């Protein structure tokens, strides 16, 4: 028989009397395969403009589709679902090469700041690869994974200083960002029904959306005492299983499929904690936001990257944080200093207090829900590129450094096909006690990246909100055309819209159906995974 690793048109061995196949048949089959490939390519060249209709760079998207078809090792793609698989397969190969190159740069770097930033890049590349390999059980899952991959690549660049090193990393990552952007465009084109006749990826690729969260979570959250349902207890006085939260997290099982509960008794825990991507389905429960305090002070001025400055950083999917206070005490003069970073999907933060100054809450990526939680800070104190809904929360602006202006949000969506954004619903946006009476301008947000998307809905906006409402990132720039900022049915002395900015991307929302797009039910598909958590939520308006 022919060896499986022989090329199709290889010459048969002279010492073998029986040839694998007659040469004429081989040539005929090869020619037929070429014709089929050419036909598929012709059809996809016709379809590419429609598949790329929502891409921010249509020529690049169309070129990527053509290249993916030509380089596919499978039978030649002829449907959008096949195209998506081909692009992702190609991007995995390029991703691994880029990740190895970045790891090499990290190993050779001697500059402490760039070395720290490259260490973040290595971690982010690992997260991005995990997302590419994660099975998607619904179209919204796939869009979430791809959106997060794009965010991971962008974050890698954020803390690198301008110069040759940043250029070298960018040369590796920009092609990957283009591949991911094209994948999002193809997926969204099919999801919106533009190319259903050419193959419905919704039906062909995905199964039913699962109900992720088990009912046990509600029982845990409703238990009279968290300790009664906890798997382990953390206590500073030694009365539990561990004396630090980090020890308890590190000891939790990897790859968990059922809820694992860590109960943290009251006390002040001075530590920096990372819940890694393998620590899934964890629940960390304290004795109350004023009783159980996790505190740290890492910051940009003293050498940390923004990404790595978090007091508590979470990458494990399915995390629930409840009845905790998480703070970064670095102070406004230390600039970027994150208290809580969430890079996890299906994350819930309930009845917590998150305190800091600049960059307090880093809602980094994936789907997140915040309920009955207080977040305080100064500059961009709710920022990132997650699909995040804050409901029933308090957002308190603090007194910044002299000459600074406060911005409640700084959303970082880079691509119009990402499902990311920040939705603030039924919240209170108020000044902290130290800001009351101070002559400091406070804005609802400013656009961190080109397609920044933020809405404030049905919320109370206090008098400290500037009449303009929204602030430019850095002077005049084009993001005003591509961002989406909206306000819907807000109230309070800072809610008037007559004096708001007149940017093309700013909207006073009057259509209820538009506002519905930013609710728990539609924006983060919360009805499918918040059921059973024990956390109150309003799925609609």
Domain residue extents for the chain: 23-205, 286-528
Confidence tier at 191 by pLDDT (50, 70, 90):
confident
- Look at residue 193 and tell me whether its pLDDT is greater than 70: no
- pLDDT computed for residue 44 by the predictor: 47
pLDDT of residue 356 exceeding 60, the answer is yes
For residue 138, pLDDT beyond 80: no
**Which pTM does this prediction carry?**
0.87
Q: Are 452 and 409 in contact (CB under 8 A)?
A: no
Q: Which of 40-54, 79-93, 133-147, 522-536 has the lowest mean pLDDT?
A: 40-54
Cα–Cα distance for residue pair 90/88, rounded to 1 Å: 5
| Active-site residue, from 217, 380, 385, 415 | 380
Architecture of domain 286-528 in CATH? Answer: 3 Solenoid (2.160)
**281, 313 Cβ separation under 8 angstroms:** no
Q: Which of 142-146, 281-285, 502-506 has the lowest mean pLDDT?
A: 142-146
Average pLDDT over residues 311-325: 97
| pLDDT single digits (tens) 102-120 | 999 999 988 888 899 999 9
Backbone angles phi, psi at 519, to 5 degrees: -90, 170
Residue 75 has pLDDT above 80, yes or no: no
- Does the pLDDT of residue 505 top 90, yes or no? yes
pLDDT given for residue 204 in this prediction: 39
The DSSP annotation for 462-508 comes to: -TTB-TT-B--SSSS-THHHH-EEEEES-BSTT---TTS---TTEEE
Q: Quick check: 256 and 282 in contact, CB under 8 A?
A: yes
pLDDT greater at residue 86 or residue 149 = 149
Residue range 363-388: average pLDDT? Answer: 98
Mean pLDDT, range 176-199, rounded to an integer: 76
Q: Return mean pLDDT, the chain.
A: 85
| 427, pLDDT greater than 90 | yes
Query: pLDDT tens across 17-72, in order?
Result: 444 444 443 433 333 343 344 444 444 444 555 889 889 999 999 999 888 878 76
C-alpha span between 439 and 432 (Å, rounded) = 13
Q: pLDDT tens-digit profile of 1-13?
A: 433 333 322 333 3
Q: Is the pLDDT of residue 16 over 80?
A: no
Buried b (16+ CB within 10 A) or exposed e, 97-114: ebbebbbebbeebeeeeb
Superfamily of domain 23-205: Invertase/pectin methylesterase inhibitor family protein (1.20.140.40)
For the chain, what percent of residues have pLDDT higher than 70? 81
Residue from 141, 144, 142, 174 nearest 156 by CA? 174
Render pLDDT for 449-500 as a digit per residue (tens, 0 to 9).
999 999 999 999 999 999 999 999 976 666 999 999 999 999 999 999 999 9
pLDDT at 111: 86
> Considering the chain, what percentage of its residues have pLDDT values greater than 90?
68
Q: Is 380 designated active site?
A: yes
In this structure, are residues 479 and 473 in contact, taking their beta carbons and an 8 Å threshold?
yes
More confident residue, 528 or 509: 509
Average pLDDT value for residue range 295-309: 97
């Amino acid at each position: 028989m022919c060896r499986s690793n022989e090329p199709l048109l290889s010459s048969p061995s002279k010492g073998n009397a029986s040839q694998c196949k007659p040469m004429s048949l081989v040539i005929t089959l090869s020619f037929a395969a070429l014709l089929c490939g050419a036909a598929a390519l012709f059809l996809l060249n016709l379809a590419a403009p429609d598949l790329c209709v929502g891409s921010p760079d249509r020529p690049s998207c169309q070129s990527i589709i053509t290249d993916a078809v030509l380089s596919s090792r499978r039978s030649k793609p002829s449907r959008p679902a096949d195209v998506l698989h081909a692009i992702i397969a190609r991007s995995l190969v390029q991703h691994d090469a880029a990740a190895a190159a970045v790891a090499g740069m990290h190993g050779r770097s001697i500059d402490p700041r760039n070395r720290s930033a490259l260490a973040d890049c290595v971690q982010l590349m690992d997260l991005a690869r995990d997302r590419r390999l994660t099975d998607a059980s619904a179209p919204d899952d796939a869009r979430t994974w791809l959106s997060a991959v794009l965010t991971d690549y962008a974050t890698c660049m954020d803390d690198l200083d301008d110069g040759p090193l940043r250029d070298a990393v960018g040369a590796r990552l920009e092609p990957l960002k283009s591949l991911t952007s094209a994948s999002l465009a193809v997926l969204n084109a099919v999801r919106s029904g533009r190319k259903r006749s050419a193959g419905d990826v919704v039906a062909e690729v995905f199964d039913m959306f699962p109900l992720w969260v088990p009912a046990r979570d509600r029982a845990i959250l409703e238990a009279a005492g968290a300790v009664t349902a906890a798997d382990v207890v953390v206590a500073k006085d030694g009365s539990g299983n561990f004396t630090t939260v980090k020890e308890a997290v590190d000891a939790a099982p990897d790859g968990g499929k059922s809820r694992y509960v860590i109960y943290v008794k009251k006390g002040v825990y001075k530590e920096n904690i990372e819940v890694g991507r393998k620590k899934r389905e964890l629940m960390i429960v304290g004795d109350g936001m004023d009783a159980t305090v996790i505190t740290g002070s890492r910051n940009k001025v003293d050498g940390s990257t923004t990404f790595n400055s978090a007091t508590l950083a979470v990458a494990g999917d399915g995390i629930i944080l409840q009845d905790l206070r998480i703070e970064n005490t670095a102070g406004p003069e230390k600039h970027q200093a994150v208290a809580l970073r969430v890079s996890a999907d299906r994350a819930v933060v309930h009845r917590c207090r998150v305190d800091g100054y600049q960059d307090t809450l880093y809602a980094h990526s994936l789907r997140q829900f915040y309920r009955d939680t207080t977040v305080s800070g100064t500059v961009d104190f709710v920022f990132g590129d997650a699909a995040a809904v804050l409901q029933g929360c308090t957002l308190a602006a603090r007194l910044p450094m002299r000459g600074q202006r406060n911005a409640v949000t700084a959303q970082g969506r880079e691509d119009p096909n990402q499902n990311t954004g920040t939705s603030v619903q039924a919240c209170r946006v108020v000044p902290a006690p130290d800001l009351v009476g101070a002559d400091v301008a406070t804005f609802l947000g400013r656009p961190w990246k080109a397609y920044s998307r933020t809405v404030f809905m049905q919320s109370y906006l206090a008098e400290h909100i500037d009449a303009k409402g929204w602030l430019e990132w850095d002077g005049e720039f084009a993001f005003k055309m591509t961002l989406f900022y909206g306000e819907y049915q807000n109230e309070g002395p800072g809610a008037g819209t007559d004096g708001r900015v007149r940017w093309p991307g700013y909207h006073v929302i009057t259509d209820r159906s538009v506002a519905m797009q930013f609710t728990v039910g539609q924006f983060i598909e919360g009805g499918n995974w918040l059921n059973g958590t024990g956390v109150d939520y309003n799925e609609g308006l």
